[in-house]
Amino acid sequence: MTTTADYTEKIPNNVDLREDRRLQRALESWQPNFLNWWQTMGPMLPTQDVYLRTAVNVGREGWAHFGHVPMKDYRWGIFLAERDPDRRVGFGQHRGEPVWDKVPGEYRADLQRLIVIQGDTEPASVEQQRNLGATAPSLYDLRNLFQVNVEEGRHLWAMVYLLHAYFGREGREEAAELLHRSSGSVESPRILGAFNEQTLDWLSFYMFTYFTDRDGKYQLGTLKESAFDPLSRTCEFMLKEEAHHMFVGTTGVDRVVERTTQVMVENDTDDVAGYGVIPLPVVQKYLNFHYSVSLDLFGGETSTNVANYYTAGLKGRWSEDRRHDNHKLTDDSSMVDALVDGQIGQTEVPALLGLNTDLRRQYINDCRGGVNRWNKILADAGLPQRLKLPHIAFNRRVGAFAGIEASPEGEKLSAEEWSQRKGQWLPTEVDKTHVRSLMWPVHERGKIAAWIAPPRNGINGKPFDYDYVHLL
Ligand SMILES: [Fe+2]
Ligand SMILES: [Fe+2]
């Protein structure tokens, strides 16, 4: 197997596509549909070219090439991390057996489903973000938006490759459906709720890339453990790209908080809406929203499907190899969040059933990292305010707390109290209108919008005032 992609190929790849003419033809016939989708549902802003990172290699020697690329010439490729010929199944009933290069018949439907659900999120986020270019706060941010979008497009390619290569006619039909569903559509929406929300402003974009792309990281992390080796290898490489998306989110919120903090200190007031920045309570409300809808993406606290996926070896735990147990979990139990006699609490279940809760907790711990760094910005400026993650029961629409309402502190509320008070905790129309009123494009080299601080560093060693994007 080669690791360096051949960009003279119609579909750059490191999977020896040329050796499998049927598969190559099938993917080449999907390609125009993808390009059509990108043109109609992808970024709206016309550009001459964008300074992008393109994957050329999956090896350790460096896998990315940077350069200005006209969007019409951008090439989406298929890249799998290198194969480890000695890799063995790390968990479940097949633990210790060699991993699978083909799909075992008995797991076909489940694997296909897992791939389709993951695949569906990738184009969805591009659709959600398609209007953002028109209000980018700087060329640097505009470039990052395009980078995230082309990589989500590539992640769609990654899942479509698996569907075409391993799931026959049904796989090809599912691949077509991935371009047919669309975010927010009434007739054929995207599969998961958070991917049907609109991303209308840049604060939402940073929160999305911080919280929702991070859900992606955890889902990919469990699929990376899969006994189905091509899925594992594809997810391993996707995770490398995903890291940049979360970087965009982390540093994006950093810069919003930094700018708001500056204005608060300079003017010695918390009430900064009139100064053209985003007040901290509004940042907190956006955080509350994106965090809670992202928690929903992990599904119910208990799941027999996920228990079966684990036992079968299809989907593992986050950092499976760092867990100190027998990696089968048949005799273990765990505590999961639950309503106990109508109150927010926990209950004990067989560990296999509680795997969604396990993954959600890993995610929650990771999310604290961002909040800590944003709070450090406030603390360093001598301000007493702090951001925080809301309680796990807050604003949930999936799982044990879907049927109740709770405050960010985790206090159970009646439906009436909730509707009276939710505007204190979730963005109201007034908040959204204020945020949107700040979203004026700054498409001039080296300039930045007033509501956000410039980044500390540019991309790939370039300065902030580099010509990252040439507009038409
Ligand atoms: Fe992705
Ligand atoms: Fe992503």
Tokens of 420: 């009276």
pLDDT at 8: 77
Could you tell me the distance, in angstroms and rounded to a whole number, from the CA of residue 213 to the centre of ligand 2? 5
**Relative to the alpha carbon of 208, which ligand is closest?**
2
Pairing of β 469-471 and β 47-55 = antiparallel
Q: How far is the CA of 265 from the centre of ligand 1 (A)?
A: 38
Distance 316 CA to ligand 2 centre (A): 20
Residue 352 and residue 329 in contact, taking contact as beta carbons nearer than 8 Å: yes
Give me ligand 2 centre to Cα 118, in Å: 11
Note the pLDDT of residue 387: 98
Residues with CB under 5 Å of ion ligand 2 are 213, 242, 245
Distance 216 CA to ligand 2 centre (A): 7
Cα(390)–Cα(407) distance, integer angstroms: 8
- Give the distance from CA 137 to its chain's centroid: 21
Tokens, residue 58: 């999956």
Q: How far is the CA of 97 from the centre of ligand 1 (A)?
A: 30
Cα–Cα dist 51/145, whole Å: 11
Provide the β-strand partners of residue 405: 413
Tell how far the Cα of 120 is from the centroid of ligand 1, in angstroms: 10
Angle made by CA atoms 447, 451, 455, in degrees to the nearest 5: 55
> What is residue 63's predicted lDDT score, i.e. its pLDDT?
82
Query: What tokens appear for 17 in the block?
Result: 């596509």
How many angstroms separate the alpha carbon of residue 235 from the centre of ligand 1? 10
* Contact between 230 and 162 (Cβ < 8 Å): yes
Spatial distance between the Cα atoms of 124 and 189, rounded to a whole number of angstroms: 9
Contacts of 174 (CB under 8 A, 6+ apart): 112, 115, 116, 119, 163, 167
Q: How far is the CA of 28 from the centre of ligand 2 (A)?
A: 24
- The residues facing 272 across adjacent strands are none
Distance from the alpha carbon of residue 264 to the mean position of ligand 2, in angstroms: 32
Residues 6+ apart with CB under 8 A from 419: none
Q: How many A from CA of 209 to the centre of ligand 2? A: 7
**Residue of 93, 28, 73, 87 lying closest to 328 (CA atoms):** 93
Report CA(77)–ligand 1 centroid distance (Å). 14
For residue 253, the model assigns a pLDDT of: 98
The whole-number pLDDT of residue 198 equals 86
How many A from CA of 246 to the centre of ligand 2? 7
Give, as one character, the DSSP assignment of residue 97. Answer: S
d(CA 431, CA 415): 22
* Closest listed residue to residue 240, CA positions, set 63, 84, 120, 14: 63
**Cα 148 to middle of ligand 2, angstroms:** 6
In whole angstroms, give the CA distance from residue 231 to residue 136. Answer: 35
Q: How far is the CA of 339 from the centre of ligand 1 (A)?
A: 33
Alpha helices in 395-428 (DSSP H): 415-421
pLDDT at 1 (0 to 100): 46
Which ligand ends up closest to the CA of 234?
A: 1
Q: Residue 150 C-alpha to ligand 2 middle, in angstroms? A: 10
Q: How far is the CA of 23 from the centre of ligand 2 (A)?
A: 26
Pairing of the two strands 412-413 and 405-406: antiparallel
Q: How far is the CA of 303 from the centre of ligand 1 (A)?
A: 24
Contact 351, 329 (CB under 8 A): yes
Closest ligand to residue 147's CA: 2
- Contact (Cβ atoms closer than 8 angstroms) between residue 148 and residue 50: no
- Spacing, Cα 216 to ligand 1 middle (Å): 7
pLDDT in 10s for each residue of the chain, 472 residues:
445 677 778 999 999 999 999 999 999 999 999 999 999 999 999 999 999 999 887 876 678 899 999 999 999 999 999 999 999 999 999 999 999 999 999 999 999 999 999 999 999 999 999 999 999 999 999 999 999 999 999 999 999 999 999 999 999 999 999 999 999 999 999 999 889 988 999 999 999 999 999 999 999 999 999 999 999 999 999 999 999 999 999 999 999 999 999 999 999 999 999 999 999 999 999 999 999 999 999 999 999 999 999 999 999 999 999 999 999 999 999 999 999 999 999 999 999 999 999 999 999 999 999 999 999 999 999 999 999 999 999 999 999 999 999 999 999 999 999 999 999 999 999 999 999 999 999 999 999 999 999 999 999 999 999 999 999 9
CA distance linking residue 283 with residue 386, whole number of Å: 11
Cα 117 to the center of its chain, rounded Å = 13
DSSP state of 454: P
Q: Report pLDDT for 296.
A: 97
**38 C-alpha vs ligand 1 centroid, how far in Å?**
15
Q: How remote is the CA of residue 238 from the centroid of ligand 1, in Å?
A: 7
User: For residues 236 and 63, what is the distance between their CA atoms, to the nearest angstrom?
Assistant: 13
Q: Is 418 helix (H, G, I), strand (E, B) or coil?
A: helix
- 294 C-alpha to ligand 2 centroid (Å): 13
Among all ligands shown, which has an atom nearest to the Cα of 244?
2
C-beta separation of 272 from 464 below 8 A: no
- What pLDDT score was predicted for residue 3? 59
